[in-house]
Amino acid sequence: MSANLQLIQGIYDAFAAGDVPTVLGSMSPDIEWNEAESFPYADGNPYIGPEAVLNGVFARCIGEWDGFAVEIEELIDAGDTIVARGWYLGTYKATGNAQHTQIAHIWRIKDGKAVAFQQHADTLHVAKATGAV
């Protein structure tokens, strides 16, 4: 397993364990994080830096969803780019609707840190879960 693949696997493992400091520590200080267009948290795109990701994305996931989780089915190693395929899970607190949202994440790695993240997600499924449609 390449070092870049290990880095990204470690991010998902730490997130699943609730170890947010390790997740944030795996990011470059100037990471550029983008949520999918039309995703509820895309309103802050691009999030620059780990603190922006923490406050604009992670805090909202934790605050608005019961049992929010990321289930990764496959990691694809493309050198300095890692692609993750999987699902978002959880129940939106305000509606009681559960999600099983298909996702793809594209990570860019430089000097052992994640420098960019692009989320792709089934935004219609999320909109239905949150009651937006």
Residue 35: give its domain's CATH number: 3.10.450.50
Strands 113-121 and 27-34: parallel
Is residue 1 scored above 90 in pLDDT? Answer: no
Domain membership of residue 18 as a residue range: 3-130
Q: Please name the residues in contact with 82: beta carbons below 8 A apart, sequence gap of 6 or more.
A: 4, 5, 7, 8, 75, 76, 106, 107, 109
Kindly tell me if the per-residue pLDDT of 121 is higher than 90. Answer: yes
pLDDT at 2 over 90: yes
User: Total structural domains in the chain?
Assistant: 1
User: Per-residue pLDDT tens for 77-120?
Assistant: 999 999 999 999 999 999 999 999 999 999 999 999 999 999 99
pLDDT higher than 90, residue 54: yes
User: 57-82 pLDDT, tens per residue?
Assistant: 999 999 999 999 999 999 999 999 99
In this predicted model, what pLDDT tens digit does every residue of 18-53 receive, in sequence order? Answer: 999 999 999 999 999 999 999 999 999 999 999 999
Q: Is the pTM of this model over 0.75?
A: yes
Tell me the one-letter amino acid at 90.
Answer: G
